[in-house]
């Protein structure tokens, strides 16, 4: 089969498409013929060596796929060959991938495979930062940073679905403002403008927001405190700016603010049942049209480097996916 292999750590030149053996599912595993593989920022960080360079090389990439069950190992029941599923895997940039059966969830009619693959990381992160970490309450005001990205686009919609009164989407490029407005943001702001916190205050009658989702870090995280309501909450789950958020303790104390860290990997490790329940809910919402999964780019395997560069350069909106086989789109 064809698969992307990472031959080293660094730029996109370390990504190569190679012929490798098709994996065999072990006990409790399913083999999936991949029709769509999600590309996450974590894949780029792995390629760059951010998570360490002790990974055996060459290595696969990609944590989320959708496709059809092509086989299964001992002990797997209720998932016959041909079942459409979306799943968490270790090496998803490939024509076939193996997944733990408990992390393979049937895909309902009404959502295509690219959209289903996009929900495992971006959809799960959007929901859990709002609900599990953010403790979103109906009637709240929410500020979503990087709102045109895969997580942000879904977070805007999920927040409104769950009853947020005002959802503000913040982006780093003015050309992304319309995308944010189209995906249920009540207000769109450009955080490349230094005055953006004042715009947030203006749209909240000077009170500020109850909840901030921050995947940017750096100066944006610090500025978020300027427009956080008393007893507000900041969920930090990334540092796309290259610098983690460094929030001053005195400002947090003065505002009775709460800062919560979030890691999807931690939830998958410690509370897997909860994440599977959430995935089923997200798939149902997507199939019913309650949320729309934006696929900003579909790439064949041999254009994986181009896909990574587009995400790193912040030229994308929504989710980017790889389509491993010769087809114009996933199911």
* Cβ neighbours for 85, distance < 8 A, ≥ 6 positions apart: 30, 32, 66, 67, 68, 69, 79, 99, 104, 105, 106, 107
Q: How far apart (Å, rounded) are the C-alpha atoms in residues 260 and 114?
A: 31
pLDDT in tens, 68-103: 999 999 999 888 999 999 999 999 999 999 999 999
Eight-state DSSP code of residue 279: H
Per-residue model confidence (pLDDT) at position 99? 97
Contacts 24+ apart (CB under 8 A), 105-110: 105/276, 105/279, 105/280, 105/283, 106/79, 107/66, 107/283, 108/283, 108/284, 108/287, 109/287, 110/286, 110/287, 110/288, 110/289
Alpha-carbon span 129 to 155, nearest angstrom:
9
Element (H, E) at 213: strand 209-214
The mean predicted confidence, pLDDT, of the chain is: 92
Question: pLDDT higher for 6 or 238?
Answer: 6
Is the alpha carbon torsion for 224, 225, 230, 236 positive or negative?
positive
Which one, of 158, 176, 159, 166, lies nearest residue 282 by Cα?
158
The 10s digit of each residue's pLDDT in 289-306 is 999 998 989 999 999 999
Lowest mean pLDDT among 1-10, 149-158, 189-198, 232-241: 232-241
The domains of the chain, with CATH numbers, are 2-107+295-322 (3.90.180.10), 123-265 (3.40.50.720)
pLDDT at 117 over 80: yes
What is the predicted pLDDT for the residue at 326?
61
Kindly report, residue by residue over 14-43, the tens digit of the pLDDT: 999 999 999 999 999 999 999 999 998 889
Q: How much is the average pLDDT of 309-330? A: 78
pLDDT at 327 over 60: no
CA 233 to chain centre: 21
Q: Which residue, among 258, 257, 236, 232, has the nearest Cα to 245 in the 3D structure?
A: 236
> What pLDDT, on a 0 to 100 scale, did the predictor assign at position 244?
75
**Is residue 130 pLDDT above 90, yes or no?**
yes
pLDDT-derived band at 50 (thresholds 50, 70, 90) equals: confident
What are the tens digits of pLDDT across the range 213-226? Answer: 999 888 888 999 99
Let me know: does 119 contact 283? Beta carbons within 8 Å. yes
Confidence of residue 330 (pLDDT cuts 50, 70, 90): very low
Q: 158 with 184: CB under 8 angstroms?
A: no
Distance CA 51, CA 73 (A): 31
Average pLDDT over residues 308-330: 79
Tell me how far apart the alpha carbons of residues 186 and 16 are, in angstroms, rounded to a whole number. 42
C-alpha 272/C-alpha 261 separation (Å) is 18
Q: Would the pLDDT of 245 be above 80? A: no
Residue pair 146/152 in contact (Cβ under 8 Å)? The answer is yes
Tell me the pLDDT band of 250, cut-offs 50, 70 and 90: confident
pLDDT, tens only, 156-198: 999 999 999 999 999 988 899 999 999 999 999 999 888 999 9
| pLDDT band for position 329 (cuts 50, 70, 90) | very low
The CA-atom distances, in angstroms, between 328 and each of 232, 263, 274, 298 are: 45, 34, 34, 9
pLDDT score of 207? 96
């Amino acid at each position: 089969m064809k698969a992307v292999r990472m031959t080293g750590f660094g730029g996109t030149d370390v990504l190569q498409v190679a012929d490798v053996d098709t994996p065999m599912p072990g006990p409790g595993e399913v083999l999936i013929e991949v029709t769509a593989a999600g590309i996450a920022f974590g894949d780029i960080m792995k390629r760059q060596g951010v998570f360490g360079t002790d990974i055996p090389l060459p290595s696969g990439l990609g944590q989320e796929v959708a496709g059809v069950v092509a086989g299964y190992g001992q002990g797997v029941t209720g998932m016959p060959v041909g079942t459409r599923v979306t799943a968490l895997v270790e090496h998803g940039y490939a024509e076939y991938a193996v997944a733990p059966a408990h992390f393979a969830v049937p895909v309902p009619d009404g959502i295509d495979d690219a959209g289903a693959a996009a929900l495992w990381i971006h959809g799960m992160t959007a929901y859990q930062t709002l609900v599990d970490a953010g403790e979103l309450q109906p009637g709240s005001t929410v500020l979503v940073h990087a709102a045109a990205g895969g997580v942000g686009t879904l977070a805007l919609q999920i927040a409104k679905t769950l009853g947020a009164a005002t959802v503000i989407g913040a982006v780093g490029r003015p050309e992304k403002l319309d995308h944010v407005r189209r995906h249920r943001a009540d207000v769109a702001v450009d955080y490349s403008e230094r005055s953006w916190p004042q715009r947030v205050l203006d749209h909240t009658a000077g009170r500020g927001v109850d909840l901030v989702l921050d995947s940017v870090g750096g100066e944006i995280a610090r500025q978020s405190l300027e427009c956080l309501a008393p007893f507000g909450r900041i969920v930090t789950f990334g540092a796309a700016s290259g610098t983690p958020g460094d929030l001053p303790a005195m400002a947090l104390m003065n505002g009775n603010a709460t800062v919560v860290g979030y890691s999807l990997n931690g939830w998958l490790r410690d509370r897997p049942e909860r994440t599977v329940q959430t995935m089923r809910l997200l798939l149902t919402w997507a199939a019913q049209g309650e949320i729309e999964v934006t696929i900003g780019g579909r790439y064949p395997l041999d254009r994986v480097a181009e896909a990574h560069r587009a995400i790193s350069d912040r030229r994308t909106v929504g989710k980017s996916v790889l389509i491993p086989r010769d087809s114009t789109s996933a199911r």
